[in-house]
Amino acid sequence: MDRTRLLLDRLTAWSPVLLLGGLAALTYWLDAQVQAPVNARGDAPRHEPDMYIERFRAVSLGPDGKARQSLSATRAEHFADDQTSEFAEPRLYLTEPGRPALTLTAERGKLSADRDNAWFTGNVRAERDAPAGGADDGMPGGKMTLTTQSLHIDTRRERFDTDAPVTIEEPRGIIKGTGLEFDNVAKTARLKSQIHGTMQPRPAPAKTP
């Protein structure tokens, strides 16, 4: 369990919820582009898109003019009845100075009208690049990957969770479990059940002659 704790501690260093801040900002313009049509007949609105974009891509620039966040999808749809946005094959990418790049992909994505909640389903994969210099937090550096079939993210409370099986991989090992809760504010991560996996032991410090 100590090794599992080490892996989860590294997961909390991701700050992956920053991705959702980018997602909210990059899709805000969808509402600005669309005005809900007036329903003269007074019928209950149907849940169908009032706007869609094929091969959608949006980029947010930093103060230096360089790309910091990008969101792409093979199709993006906006729904007037509940002001939600849905994405086919979304790919969210975040790069910030001094931080490893983060990428999130899935088969489908959905963003609530208030931008407080996002859902990703189907082959969800969150990947953090290796830290610059090859190490972080005193541990061997390397790419870290989280895979699952569904992921819910609460952008306001900076949390994400899933009840589906989860796999976390990094150079020192692999941990699997069912269900995950991550709190970016408290810097805690908890696998709920059926936890198993392997991790290489921390290398012993070099002896001083």
pLDDT score recorded for residue 138: 44
pLDDT score recorded for residue 175: 87
pLDDT score recorded for residue 163: 96
Instruction: Go through 117-150 and write b for each residue having 16 or more CB atoms within 10 A of its CB, e for each that does not.
Output: bbbbbeebbbbbebbeeeebeebebbebebbbbb
pLDDT score recorded for residue 133: 60
Domains, the chain, in order of start with CATH, read 2-32+49-136+154-162+176-199 (2.60.450)
Report DSSP state, residue 46: P
pLDDT score recorded for residue 120: 92
| pLDDT, tens digit only, all 209 positions of the chain | 555 555 556 555 554 555 555 555 555 555 554 444 445 455 556 778 878 889 988 777 778 877 777 878 999 888 888 888 899 999 988 777 777 788 889 999 998 888 788 899 999 998 888 776 655 444 445 788 889 999 998 877 878 899 999 998 888 788 899 999 888 777 777 889 998 888 776 555 555 55
Which of these, 80, 79, 73, 82, lies nearest to 120 by C-alpha position?
A: 73
155 with 19: CB under 8 angstroms?
Answer: no
Residues in the chain: 209
pLDDT score recorded for residue 183: 80
Report DSSP state, residue 99: S
pLDDT score recorded for residue 30: 52
142 with 171: CB under 8 angstroms?
Answer: yes
Cα(73)–Cα(20) distance, integer angstroms: 15
For residue 144, list its beta bridge partners. 128
pLDDT score recorded for residue 166: 94
Which of these, 102, 107, 137, lies nearest to 121 by C-alpha position?
A: 107
pLDDT score recorded for residue 150: 96
120 with 108: CB under 8 angstroms?
Answer: yes
54 with 61: CB under 8 angstroms?
Answer: no
Neighbours of 66 (CB within 10 A): 9
